[in-house]
Structure 1
């Protein structure tokens, strides 16, 4: 029996999921953690050697488990986080750590593109569909141009974490259109690297990978280093797409008026559209998924990391206790509001310097109030992004929720009550891996379109909104927005 594997390389874990072609059951699953390094304030990096070791570990575990169950892996597809930047030599060996999406060292460069060089910034956004922020490789390269020009000149190749892994496995410097559209360097309509963006960043075309469709495949040929994965010669490697785009596909959120809300370490709310769109103020991203499928939305820096902060630093309690405390407080936290900007912010503010705050604190508020207000603040921020989104698309009648937060019924019900629409969970919470496998079905001709692929997604619980709680939240959200405008 044959099976396919979806690999999800995220910020905190590398995961792999194996399923048969009909996606009827899980054949094998493995996960390995990866560490984010913060060598200086505002910096966020990962060691490529640790990433490779985690990938090898999960692939080895999945291949062994599949083999034990008499399954043969025929295809491996990749889902990876966006916006990473890794300098490499001519052989693909790292020349430093990978700089992550959450790294804010390029704050000045991003600000310049929005202010003193605003005309250039707008032109780059129109070409690329990528909001101007320290997260994007365009700004990271501009920072390097100013602060480490020697490394910029010496580097033979700049790529993402996916490109590093792909080169390890194939020997080719290639990047899918989806990851490319998240760099701020890629002309989305022409499907080539943008001359404007490259000139600004100080990077040469030969330092960047060859862009390829998300369904692009290469046949795997093992070598002394990659054979540790357990993959056999001839397995087809499918390059795949970015985590945000594949989270939409893996959640089955392909049709109009269906949004996907993801909260992992960070978060995002997105819709799938049939043609690229742009926000006049550059506040929304638009990334390529497949021909005729684009994912538009906005990301937040502050998602599950807020719950982590609440548990580890604010309350010093475990997550289960913290969520139980929050459930004892009524919706709206008795007027206590939280602006969840612990690590700067992307959408809707696109300001790496902004910071969080509790507002309207009074004598009645307890620790449990602060916990619930923190969870509500994360969702208020995502719903404010959704308001931007609905200026360009039809308002969502259904939200598909995924990511770590979907394991909390309290948090998911909170979302349904706030949004006033049903919130549906997937049967599997591994939306990135699922999306990679669904894209594989399109790549190998098992399905003709991604709409057809999405029909294979199975769902779990649906959370219906409560009318009374929605009324409370509408009032609280209005106050939250008014307070935000005062920043």
Structure 2
């Protein structure tokens, strides 16, 4: 048996994978982030540690297996978190998670970051958080390493301080083409090379599960633990994104979108970032805007019973939502531009509009941002044949239909829609030598289960609505 673990923002999830590439059991343990001040977002790493054993035990129980049956382990999880650790690999402070924007990026050359790393200079990326921690948290003077969530747990269970190339490429100090940390950017952020984990392949063996790791996981010490990767990449692997023919749309709390490219192309307009990717391609992606989180806000604000109620209301309104437009920037805009100070808005309301139009506009506005990213990847040379929709939002037939209609391509939903832990399990299987090729295994494990064809009759309405969305965003930009 192989175990894959996803360190999420809202829960830690484990899956048990059989050698013949079949999921036998899965289990999640919930927890929550904290928001001590506006713009701050934290999580205690001990929450992940406490959830680890119960999540794995729950998945093994559902699989009808025991700890002695497990032959390999890997972690995937939330990107862009930052934790300083001491010599005993203990955290010195709460993790600054991906939503945290407290860091100051003044004085950093945005062009140098973009040209070297392929990413946008942004306070959410780890290098900015490391600089902030060194300046504002006295305990960090004792730090020996700075980790992201995945590399933190790998260190806790193996003693190895490693990170995969894909996750390192989100840091703002990793040279995309050189595939190593960049001296000029390390100096700019006041980071030394030995304070960072060593970059390795995601499917390499980080180390063997230690005695302490066995106590945390409930598994037998001595099994191989893979280096692992961030959830943007593991979700893509688990969803079967293994070549350049598919555009991936992961509908979770945040909506992550992107496609694979054979070359490390860099977007001159800085809407998408370019990352290394397990297996040798490059991932051209937007790291996401509040999407599922926006549905939670709408459900709670309008006092709806459920997400199904929201979708049923939206289905009562026509494509284009009767002229109502939603700008998907409740936590800042990530499309069609990155503007952290942007805010969400509904535009076009008249007395003839009701809750169904607002619900439809919400679903469409989030999908318009996806189209922004889709069109940029096409401009950068990606030739997409179909969408691949994953994450919790893939359960909505309406939302999937809207996306297919918006770009005029079929939208595929894989057999398993929660894919990050699956991607981790694939990396563990490769590290342990149980599979020789991740791409073939991913296709076998998680093939398309449903295909939604675009409705030609909706294209004109959506093209017009999308055009209005871009006009409204442009008009609001001076206010942002």
Same fold flag (TM > 0.5)? yes
- Decide whether aligned partners of structure 1 residues 240 and 163 sit closer, same or farther in structure 2, where only a CA change above 3 A counts: closer
Query: 1:16 — aligned with what?
Result: 14
1:93 aligns with 2:82: no
Return closer, same or farther for 1:149/1:81 CA change in 2, 3 Å cut-off.
closer
Q: CA deviation at 1:221?
A: 3.9
Is 1:325 matched with 2:322? Answer: no
CA distance in 2, matches of 1:29, 1:447: 21
SS in 2 for 1:158: strand
Find the aligned partners of 2:152 and 2:67 in 1 and give their Cα distance.
31
Distance (whole Å) between structure 1 residues aligned to residue 216 and residue 471 of structure 2: 55
Q: Deviations 1:220-245 (Å, cap 9, x if unpaired)?
A: 34435742522112222112222111
How far apart are 1:251 and its partner, in Å? 1.6
Residue in 2 aligned with 1:47?
A: 44
**Is the contact made by 2:11 and 2:30 (CA closer than 8 Å) also made in structure 1?**
yes
Q: Which residue of 1 aligns with 2:338?
A: 350
Tell me if structure 2 keeps the 8 A contact 1:343–1:355. Answer: yes
Q: CA deviation at 1:205?
A: 1.8
Say which is worse superposed, 184-193 or 449-458, in terms of deviation: 449-458
Contiguous gaps of at least 5 residues in structure 1: none
Kindly indicate whether residue 466 of structure 2 is the aligned counterpart of residue 477 of structure 1.
Answer: yes
The separation in 1 between residues aligned to 2:357 and 2:68, in whole angstroms, is 50
Deviations 1:409-445 (A, max 9, x none): 1211111122211000111112112222333444344
Structure 2 vs 1, CA of residues 151 and 280 (structure 1 numbering), >3 Å: closer, same or farther? farther
Matches within 5 A, 1:22-101: 22-24=20-22, 26-66=23-63, 68=65, 72-101=69-98
Q: TM-score, normalised by structure 2?
A: 0.93
Separation of aligned partners in 1, 2:4 and 2:360: 35
Question: Kindly tell me: are residues 394 and 289 of structure 1, through their superposed partners in 2, closer, same or farther at Cα, counting changes over 3 Å?
Answer: closer
Asked if the contact 2:234/2:420 (under 8 Å) is kept, the reply is: yes
Q: How much does 1:268 deviate?
A: 1.6
The Cα shift of 1:33 comes to 1.3
Give the Cα separation in 2 of the matches to 1:206 and 1:49: 24
Give me the whole-angstrom Cα distance separating, in 2, the residues matched to 1:272 and 1:390: 11
Q: Structure 1 residues 200 and 31 mapped into 2: Cα distance closer, same or farther (>3 Å)?
A: same
1:281 Cα offset (Å)? 3.2
Distance of 1:152 and 1:277 partners within structure 2: 36
- Tell me whether 1:223 sits opposite 2:220 in the alignment: no
Verify: 1:206 aligned to 2:204, yes or no.
Answer: no
Deviations 1:259-299 (A, max 9, x none): 11111000121111223221123332112223522211112
- Provide the rounded CA distance (Å) in 2 between the counterparts of 1:30 and 1:94: 26
Distance 1:27 1:451, change over 3 A: closer
Q: Deviation per CA, 1:143-184, whole angstroms, max 9, x where unpaired?
A: 345x51645544222111112211110012111112111111
Q: Is the 8 A contact 1:254 1:271 kept in 2?
A: no
Structure 2 CA distance, aligned partners of 1:463 and 1:291? 29
Q: Could you report, residue by residue, the CA deviation over 1:40-94 in whole angstroms, capped at 9, with x for unpaired residues?
A: 0011111111121112220222334445489811111221111110121121111
Aligned-pair CA distance for 1:214: 0.7
| Structure 1: distance between partners of 2:219 and 2:342 | 46
Q: Identify if the C-alpha distance between structure 1 residues 224 and 69 changes in structure 2 by more than 3 Å, giving closer, same or farther.
A: closer
Q: Superposed, which structure 2 residues align to 1:255-294 within 5 Å?
A: 255-294=243-282
For 1:199-236, what per-residue CA distance to the aligned partner results, in whole angstroms no more than 9, with x for missing partners?
12112222211222111214534435742522112222
**Shift in Å, 1:396:** 1.8
Distance apart, 1:10 and its partner CA: 1.5
1:391 to 379, 397, 410: 379
Cα deviation, residue 38, structure 1: 0.2
Asked whether the equivalents of residues 2 and 18 of structure 2 are also in contact (C-alpha less than 8 Å), the reply is yes
Kindly provide the CA deviation profile for residues 346-386 of structure 1, in whole angstroms up to 9, marking residues without a partner as x.
34422211101111111111012111111111111111121
Match of 1:300 among 288, 291, 303: 288
The alpha-carbon distance between structure 1 residues 455 and 176, as it changes in their structure 2 partners (threshold 3 A), is same
Asked whether the 8 Å contact 1:64–1:230 carries over to 2, the reply is no
2:118 aligns with 129
Aligned to 1:463: 452
More displaced 10-residue stretch of structure 1: 333-342 or 176-185? 176-185
Deviations 1:106-135 (A, max 9, x none): 2x51xx46xxx5xx2212222222221121
| Aligned counterpart, 1:179 | 167
**Does residue 417 of the first structure (1) align with residue 405 of the second (2)?**
yes
Measured in 2, the distance between the counterparts of 1:40 and 1:226 equals: 36
Distance change (3 Å), C-alpha of 1:293 and 1:394: closer
Q: How many residues align?
A: 475
Question: Aligned equivalents of 1:49 and 1:394: distance in 2?
Answer: 41
Q: Report the TM-score when normalising by structure 1.
A: 0.92
Query: For residues 68 and 207 of structure 1, what CA distance do their matches in structure 2 show?
Result: 39
Quickly say closer, same or farther: Cα 1:126–1:479, change in 2 above 3 A. same
